[in-house]
Structure 1
Amino acid sequence: MQELISRQLVRYLEERGVEHVFGLCGHTNIAVLTELGKSSIRFVNTRHEQIAAHAADGYARMKKKAAVVLSHLGPGLTNAATGVANAALDSIPMVVIAGDVPSHYYGKHPHQEINLHADAAQWEVYRPFVKRAWRVERPDLFPEIVEKAFQLAESGRPGPVLVSVPMDIFSKEIDTALFERLRPHTRQLEKPSLDEAVARRIVQALIDAERPVIYAGGGILLADAAQELEQLVDHLGIPVAHSLMGKGALRDDHDLTLGMTGFWGTQFVNDACRTADLVIGLGTRFAEADCSSWDDRYTFSFPPARLIHIDIDPSEIGRNYPVEIGAVADLRQALVALNRVAREMLPAGRRNEAMRARIARYREEFAAGNATLIREDRYPMQPERILSEVREVLPRDAIITTDVGWNKNGVGQQFPVYVPGSILTPGGYATMGFGAPGALGAKLACPDRVVVSLVGDGGFGQNPALLATAVEEDIPVVWVVMNNCAFGTIAGLQKAHYGTTTGTVFAKDGQPYTPDYAAVARAYGAEGIRIQDTAEFKDALARAIASGKPCVIDVLMRNNPVPTSGHWNILDIYSPNAKISHVSID
C-alpha cells in the first residue's frame, strides 16, 4: 500500500514511543506538522528554534532517550544549531528532522537555501557537531535513514543527528512495507561491560591504593548508573570527586562526596585529587575547567598518581592524561561488574572512617565560611543567600536547570543535589541561554516534579519568548532570574585584568539597567514577581511553586565572583604571572 511519507513518519514516531516533538513551523515542514495534528504526539510550538533545541535537550536528559526536533530549512536550521551543538558537547541524544529545499530545485538557489559552496548543502552546516548528518536523496531510503538516526543518536556516546529532508519527499508516497520491515529491529542496542579479568585488575588496584579517589563525570548520569556507583563507594569506602557534569552522580549529602573539582572547585577537593595515588575516572573527559587547565599544581597530577579510565567513548581515554588501565564500557554495566568482583575479593568491605571525618570537618568549615553571606540582609541579595534559600524551599527531588555564570559555577560548588540527575547544566559547550528553555523540556518529561531554573539576566534575556510556549502549553516552571545587570562573570574578569567593564555590564546614562523581567512574564500571560527586599524572596519562591503556573521571579543580585582556588590558563594569558582572577563589580 502506498502512503505519504509525512504520515508514515509520524506513525513511526508513535511506535517508537515519542510523546513530544519540539520545533517551529516553516514551509518545508508543514506536511509533517499536519500529520502531527492528527497524532497523539504533542507538538511543542516555540518562537525560536534555539528554544526548541534547548527544550528538547532538557527533555532528553530526563527521559534518557532521544528527543525529536522538527526544523525548517536555512535560518530555521541555523537558529537551532547552538542548541543542537550544546546537546552534542554534553552527549545528549537528539534527532533533528529538518525540511530542505525541493530536490527538483537543486542548483537553482531556491528560497532560503544554503548554497554558497555547494548546491543543496545545508546538512553540511551540522557536520562539525552531530554524530552524523544525512540528506535524504530518495524517498524509498527515508525509512531506514530515520531508523539509523535514532539508533546512532542513542548508542555508544549519545548525541544529536540530523536528517535533512527535501520538502517534496515529505509529500511523496512510498510503500508502507518499507517502514513495516523495520518493526522487528531492536529499539535498543546491548551495551558493553568489563570482562572478569579487567574488573579484577581494577578492583585490586583500588584495594591496594593508599589514597584512591573516584572521579565521576556526566557519563554516570547518562548511563543511569548512580545507584551502582553508590554501592561501590559504600563497599570500598572510596571518596568521590566530580566534574561539573558529574554533579549529583553521588548525592551531595553522602559522607564520601568530596565535591566539584577544577577552577570552580575548592582547595580541599582539588587537594584530595592532586594528592591521590590512584584516580579512577568514570564517564568523564577530564575537561579544561574541571582539571584547572591540566596544570598539575592544582587538581590532578599524573604521574605520580596512576589513572584508570572507563568511558563509553574510546577517543576520550588518554586524551589528556596517561592511563594505566583504559576500558571502553557502558558505565552502568562496568559498575555492576566492579561491584560483583569487589564483593568477591573483599567480602567485608571497608569504611575509611578517617576520610569520612575529614569530609565532615571540611563541610562544617565551608558552611561556616558562607554563613555571613547567607545571613546578609542587604538588597541586592548575595548570591550565596539566593542559593541557600532556593535549596530550603525546594523538595529533595526537585529538578533545577542552570545557565552560565554564578548560577552554574556557584551551584556546582555550593548547591546540594540530593537526587542523581536532578541538575541540568550546560557543561561542554557552556551555552548561555540553555537553562531557561531547558527547564521546559525537563518539566514536560517529569510533570510531577518541581522544576526551577536558576538563570542570570544575561541568560534569560537570550530567549524570553520561551514564556509564550510555557503559557500556551501550560508548563509550570519557575525561573529565578539572578539579576546583576551584567554578564557578571566576564565583567569580573575584565575588571580584574583590564580595569574596565566595556561591553560586559548593562547601563544607561551611567546607571545599571535591566528590563523588568517580571513585567515581561506578565505580558506573556505568566506570573511575574519582582523582589524588592531580601526578606521577600523565600516566600515568593514558595508561592510561585505552589501556584502551579509558569512564573518568573526577578531578583537583583550582588555581582560578586564565585570564590575559587583552582586555575584557568586564560588568566595567565590576560595577566602573565600576576595571579589575578575575578573581582566584584559594584
Structure 2
Amino acid sequence: GGGARHRNTGRRIERLAERLGAGVFTTASGRGAVAEDHPLYCGVSGLYTVAPMDALWREADLVIALGSRLEETATFGWPEDAAQLPVIQAVVSEESLVMERPGAHVLGDAGRIVDGWAALLAGHRATGDWSERIRTARTALAQRAADRAEEAVKRVPEGAVPVSQVLTALDRAVPADRVLVQENGLQDMWSYFFPHYVLGTGGGSVVPSEQTPLGFGAAAAVGVRLAEPAGRPVVAVVGDGAFNLFRCELPTVADAGAAVLYLVLDNGGYGWLQSNLDRVSGPASRFSFTTPRPTGTEGVALAHGLGYTRVTHPDDLPAALSTAWQRVASGTTAIVEIAVALPDTPPGMTAASGDFPLRE
C-alpha cells in the first residue's frame, strides 16, 4: 500500500516475497513501492484485478498487507467470507488498522518490519507449487491482455485511437523512470490494469486515491513536476472532461515553467456518466454527457508557448509522442490530445455501474 512507498530500500519487499514464494500485489496508491517487472508481481489489488489473477485471491492461504488501510477499492473481489482469508496487517499507526478480518496486526515502519521478518526467515526456501501457479497466471494474463488490446482495435471506429496503443506508445517514447500521474475518469483507468501499463525501472505513480475530484491528476502533475528532480519525466494521462476543468490553468503552467507531458483522452465529454446513462436509458435518452466538439485547447496552449498536437489515427501516435517528449525534455509542457472512442472501456469492466464497475 501507499505506506510502503519509499520503504523498499534494496528491494527488501521483493526479497521477502521470494523467500515465501508469495505473489506481490500493490494498491493503486502503493504503485511504485515494488518493481512491476518482477516475476512475482501480479498487478493492482482489488478493483483493478482481473482474471486469471483474481483466482489467486480465492486460492490464497494468507495475505500480508504492508502499509495499507485495506480500503474497499483494495479489497474489492476478495472472498466475501472474510474468515476465508486471514490478513497480517502491518501499518505505522493504529488508526489504520482494519479489524474485520482474522489475523494479526503489527505496528511500525513497513521497511523495518520486513527486515525483521526476513531475518527470521534466513535460510528459508519457498516450497510447493504456489510460485508456479503465479507464473502460470501471469502468462495467461499476458495473453488475455493481448487479446483484449486486439479486440479494442476492432471496436474503435475510424478517427479514434485505442487506449491500449496510447499506453504502448507512451512506454516506448518516454524514459522508464517517468512518474505517471493518474486521473479520476473512465478511459484513463486503462493505466491501472497490469500489464497494459507497467511502471518502468525506477518509475513512479501518483493517484487520486481517496481524494477523487475531477481534474486532480491534471493539476497534481504540476506539483509533481516542481517537486521532482529536473530531468525526470512527469506524464499525466487525463480525460478531456478533467482537462476541461484544468485548461484555464495553462497560463499558470507556463508561468511556472513546469514541463509536463499531458495525454488527453478525448471522448467528447464525461465518459463514466455517459456509460451509466447508456446502461440505464439506452440511446433514446434526450440527455448526453459526451458530444464531440472542438476543445479549444490548441489556442490556449499555443498562446502561452506550450506544445500541442491532436492525434486521430494510431499510425500518427508514435511520432506525436516522440516530438512531444522532446519538447518536454527541453523544458516546455506539451499536450497531446488523442481522439478515443467511448466503447473502448478499460479491461476490468463491461460497464460502469455506480461506485464500482460490473465485473467481466
The TM-score with structure 2 as length reference comes to 0.86
Q: Does 1:234 align with 2:18?
A: yes
1:424 partnered with 2:206: yes
Match of residue 355 from structure 1: 133
Residue among 108, 114, 122 paired with 1:343: 122
Whose RCO is larger (CA < 8 A, sep 6+)?
2
Q: Which sits farther off after the overlay, 368-377 or 390-399?
A: 368-377
Aligned partner of 1:499 among 272, 282, 287: 282
1:261 to partner: Cα distance: 2.8
1:155-234 matches, cutoff 5 A = 217-221=1-5, 223=7, 227-234=11-18
Sequence identity (%) = 20
Instruction: Tell me which of 266, 277, 302 is aligned to 1:483.
Output: 266
Distance 1:341 1:275, change over 3 A: same
Q: Does 1:441 align with 2:220?
A: no
Per-residue deviation, residues 363-412 of structure 1 (Å, max 9, x unmatched) = 33223313414766832111121112112222111111111124552111
2:172 match: 392
Cα deviation code 1:229-268 (max 9, x no counterpart): 1221223221112222122332222111111232332022
The yes-or-no answer on 1:323 pairing with 2:102 is yes
TM-superposed CA distance for 1:553, in Å, is: 0.9
**1:269-302: CA deviation from partner (whole Å, max 9, x where unpaired):** 222113211111111122222322x7735xxx42
Structure 1 partner of 2:82 = 302
Residue 332 of structure 1: aligned partner:
111
Q: How many residues are aligned here?
A: 349
Amino acid in the other structure paired with 2:42: L
User: Residue 545 of structure 1 corresponds to which residue in structure 2?
Assistant: 325
1:16-55 matches, cutoff 5 A: none
Q: Which structure 2 residues correspond to residues 105-184 of structure 1 after superposition, within 5 A?
A: none
RMSD: 2.9
Determine helix, strand or coil for the equivalent of 1:229: helix
1:499 partner SS: helix
State the partner residue of 1:575: none
CA distance in 1, matches of 2:262, 2:342: 19
CA contact (8 A) 1:491 1:504 kept: yes
Q: 1:313 to 1:514 in 2, by over 3 A?
A: farther
Q: Could you list the per-position Cα deviations for residues 63-107 of structure 1 after superposition, in whole angstroms to 9, with x for gaps in the alignment?
A: xxxxxxxxxxxxxxxxxxxxxxxxxxxxxxxxxxxxxxxxxxxxx
CA distance in 2, matches of 1:304, 1:257: 23
Q: Deviations over 1:414-433 (max 9, x none)?
A: 21112466111111122211
Provide the rounded CA distance (Å) in 2 between the counterparts of 1:514 and 1:288.
38
The superposition leaves residues 498-539 of structure 1 with CA deviations (integer Å, 9 ceiling, x where unpaired) of: 3367766243xxxx2241323321123211112242211111
| Residues 462-509 of structure 1, C-alpha deviations (whole Å, 9 max, x = no match) | 1213322222222221111011112112221221133367766243xx
Gaps of 5+ in 1: 1-216, 573-579
Change (3 A) 1:318 1:368: same
| Residue type of the alignment partner of 1:265 | T
For 2:109, the aligned partner's letter is D
Code of the aligned partner of 1:324: G
CA distance in 2, matches of 1:582, 1:302: 20
Judge conservation of contact 1:496–1:582 (CA < 8 Å) in 2. Answer: no
Unaligned runs of 5+ residues in structure 2 are none
Give the SS at the match of 2:309: strand
TM-score under structure 1 normalisation?
0.55
Q: By how many angstroms is 1:571 displaced?
A: 7.1
